[in-house]
Structure 1
Amino acid sequence: MIARNRHLADIAQGLRQFPVVALLGPRQVGKTTLARQVATRWDGHAHLFDWEDPDDQARLSDPSFVLRGLTGLVVLDEMQLRPDLFPLLRVLADRPGTPARFLILGSAAPELLRNTSESLAGRVLFHELDGLALEELPPEQWEMRWLRGGFPRALLAEDLEQSRAWRASLIRTYLERDLPQLGIKLPSLTLRRFWTMLGHYHGQTWNGSELGRALGVSDKTVSRYLDILEGTFMTWRLRPWHTNQGKREVKAPKVYLADTGLLHSLLGIGDEQNLLAHPKCGASWEGFVLHEILRQTHTGRDEAFFWALHSGAELDLLTVRHGRRLGFEVKLTRSPHVTPSMRSAQETLGLDHLFVVCHGNGPPWPLAPGITALPLYALGELASLY
């Protein structure tokens, strides 16, 4: 079992500060396993319930009666299946002395769980769990992590064939079972087609009109499809940064599939040789690295942007945190060099530092004043480099 120590520490801290912590992430990413580890370390009673387990459904036939009598830690798995219980959780969270803390697990974002934000405002901390990060794996597994993705069963499968089969099963189950359980009534073939098309747009700016024409639906419909995939942690958007300097800047967000393993499955990429020869190889690498940067720098989505001009200058990632502006360019090479586009971004955006994240390992090295080459596995040294 891989210890996800940072997540364990963050959840434990959240439970000390809030009566409810919502652990959110896609299906099969390890939420239940992580919750059991939290329960094992809990100093006191811990009670675990899963809304998909018939025995637990029977035990909680009268949830108010059962939950009111519990103390310590109460774990409620698959809470998106019981949105009617959020008003009850608000009452239980407001009891004097907080006799119980609640760790609720769900595979839909707060936007799809409106009752969470409405009923538990000020009482809940949201914590997102995604695939296994590089910092959680041995250094020699980074190429396998890129190819197979971060879902534990896909990454840790005995061989590549088993990994591909597991990812194919996840895609089918997500479309045919998980979305209908959330009340999303869409033909699975239509959404799969859209999801696959989105894979071909991975790392590009969003163009709903173009996708809509290809699918024969309206812009509004494809935007809804994207909202569904993002709300269930299958895609993510990177917002554009505007300098307000009169330049013709790109104003549409970039769209990425959240997991490179699922991206590769949807694109029919079978192994490493297929990946390196595929036209989306560079975009796949970019999304993989950007996700790692955001995780290792603890950057929130509201603190992350890209910048691009219609004339061609661009920056893959701009983070704005604690009064500092850091730029990141992602290059699938072991020998990056400074480009005019980097110079333009450095000057226009007023960057405190620009990092060129590249392939390979080893220590960082300077490329130019204010610009550092940073091998992927040296991301942990960011704090000491500027």
Structure 2
Amino acid sequence: MISRSETTAAINTALGRSRVVALLGPRQCGKTTLARQFVPSDSPNYIDLEDPLSLARLDEPMTALRDLTGLVVIDEVQRRPELFPVLRVLADRDPLPARFLILGSASPALLRQSSESLAGRVETVTIGGLALRDVGTETMDSHWLRGGFPLSFLAGSDADSFGWRKNFIQTFLERDLPQLGIGTPAATLLRFWTMLAHYHGQVWNAAEPARSLGVNESTTRRYLDLLEGVFMVRQLQPWYENLKKRQVKSPKIYFRDSGLLHQLLGIRTPAELLTHPKCGASWEGYVIEELLAQAKHDEAYFWGTHSGAELDLLLISHGSRIGVEIKRMDAPRLTPSMRIAMEDLKLERLTVVYPGTKRYPLAEGVEVMPFREMCAGSHSIVLGESR
């Protein structure tokens, strides 16, 4: 089994200070495997709401849960939203005989229910698939192509991985989303999702997809919010302030899993990826997801002006601004856009991430960093602190 030590540590920390911890992420990303490291699946303290026996146990939820002690895991909790008021009562007991780790497939309804019923009692830990730090930087090419879903990454061949992702998308649209109460036809969402693959790394414009689908712009925004709510895409929001410049104020769109992006683009092999027109955008999104998964930051944005200056990633941590520029080239150089970003945004430093092997300075406060070194090292590299 692949160790996900940093994720496990984050769950342990949350359990140490919170009465209820919600572990959220897309289906098949490894939530259940992680939870079973804390409570074995054959324990009475492990309740899987996709198991008919567990569902039967919770016909009377207060009776079933109130006598349990220690850590209690409830998997796929969004299937029984009526449990949240019960969990609120159980979490308020003093002394507290049990803490709860609840697992959910990233449903907006789940987040709403938990925030309404468990306000002040629940801490959320959000995960995706396997990160590069989990599987080792030597696997980067395969990890980028296949993505981080465990069964996709660990498949016996690229063809098997591609087939798994195809089936995942079909099942996700036809079964998982309807179970979350989403009634949009699967064929419509597949068309939209496929269109979205071509927006990966670009500023969102609702007008073109709306015309293609024959719907209004508010409908496409709702589809986009839906896919973001189930952790399939990321809307990276723009940073803008009074700079006396026309700045971009629409989000950029990124797929959170590079493997799903490649499946929808029809990319099956490393050779096809490297020659595809979206190769650069794919790598940019892949790097952004890996950095956001490990960088210590309070907020993350991109920045751009209508005159062409831009910054791929702006991380804000404890009031400091750290810029990240992503370049898929052999030897990045200092550009006018980097100088403008340093000056206009008053960056503490700017890190240029590239796929090479050498680390070198470009200017005062600007350094080129190999991507593998960032992922193999600590978070502090991203934030420009001493190693």
Match of 1:126 in 2: 124
Match of 1:188 in 2: 186
Cα distance in 1 between the residues matched to 2:35 and 2:296: 21
Cα distance in 2 between the residues matched to 1:359 and 1:111: 39
Q: Figure out how many residues of one structure are paired with residues of the other and give that number.
A: 379
- The SS at the match of 1:57 is helix
- The SS at the match of 1:334 is coil
Residue by residue over 1:48-76, the C-alpha shift from the partner in whole angstroms, topping out at 9 and shown as x without a partner, is 01111112112222211110111111100
Match of 2:210 in 1: 212
Cα distance in 2 between the residues matched to 1:323 and 1:127: 23
**Post-superposition shift, 1:135?**
1.1
Match of 1:59 in 2: 57
Q: Which runs of 5+ in 2 are unaligned?
A: none
What's the TM-score once normalised by structure 1's chain length?
Answer: 0.95
**Post-superposition shift, 1:32?**
0.1
Instruction: Indicate yes or no: 2:281 matched with 1:283.
Output: yes
**Post-superposition shift, 1:370?**
1.1
Q: For 1:82-231, list aligned pairs within 5 A.
A: 82-110=80-108, 112-231=110-229
Match of 1:322 in 2: 318
Match of 1:331 in 2: 327
Cα distance in 2 between the residues matched to 1:80 and 1:111: 8
**Post-superposition shift, 1:33?**
0.1
Match of 1:7 in 2: 7
Match of 1:242 in 2: 240
Cα distance in 2 between the residues matched to 1:111 and 1:321: 30
Residues 25 and 126, structure 2, Cα contact 8 Å, conserved in 1: yes
Residue by residue over 1:256-301, the C-alpha shift from the partner in whole angstroms, topping out at 9 and shown as x without a partner, is 111000000001111111111111111100100011111121335x
Cα distance in 2 between the residues matched to 1:74 and 1:382: 31
- The SS at the match of 1:113 is helix
Cα distance in 1 between the residues matched to 2:33 and 2:159: 24
Q: For 1:339-350, list aligned pairs within 5 A.
A: 339-350=335-346
Cα distance in 1 between the residues matched to 2:133 and 2:296: 13
Match of 1:28 in 2: 28
Residue by residue over 1:157-203, the C-alpha shift from the partner in whole angstroms, topping out at 9 and shown as x without a partner, is 11111101110111001000000001100110000000000000001
Match of 1:270 in 2: 268
Match of 1:370 in 2: 365
Match of 2:256 in 1: 258
Residues 46 and 75, structure 1, Cα contact 8 Å, conserved in 2: no
**Post-superposition shift, 1:382?**
5.7
The code of the aligned residue for 2:345 comes to L
- The SS at the match of 2:38 is helix
Residue by residue over 1:315-345, the C-alpha shift from the partner in whole angstroms, topping out at 9 and shown as x without a partner, is 0000111121110110111211111111111
Residues 296 and 317, structure 2, Cα contact 8 Å, conserved in 1: no
**Post-superposition shift, 1:138?**
2.1
Structure 1 residues 46 and 338: alpha-carbon distance in aligned structure 2, compared to 1, 3 A threshold: farther
Residues 106 and 230, structure 2, Cα contact 8 Å, conserved in 1: yes
Residues 8 and 38, structure 1, Cα contact 8 Å, conserved in 2: no
Cα distance in 2 between the residues matched to 1:382 and 1:343: 25
Cα distance in 2 between the residues matched to 1:288 and 1:254: 14
What's the TM-score once normalised by structure 2's chain length?
Answer: 0.95
Cα distance in 1 between the residues matched to 2:379 and 2:10: 21
Structure 1 residues 333 and 322: alpha-carbon distance in aligned structure 2, compared to 1, 3 A threshold: same
Cα distance in 1 between the residues matched to 2:235 and 2:225: 10
Residues 25 and 129, structure 1, Cα contact 8 Å, conserved in 2: yes
**Post-superposition shift, 1:112?**
4.8
The code of the aligned residue for 2:364 comes to P
RMSD (Å), alpha carbons: 1.4
Cα distance in 2 between the residues matched to 1:382 and 1:329: 16
**Post-superposition shift, 1:246?**
1.6
Cα distance in 2 between the residues matched to 1:368 and 1:33: 45
**Post-superposition shift, 1:39?**
2.2
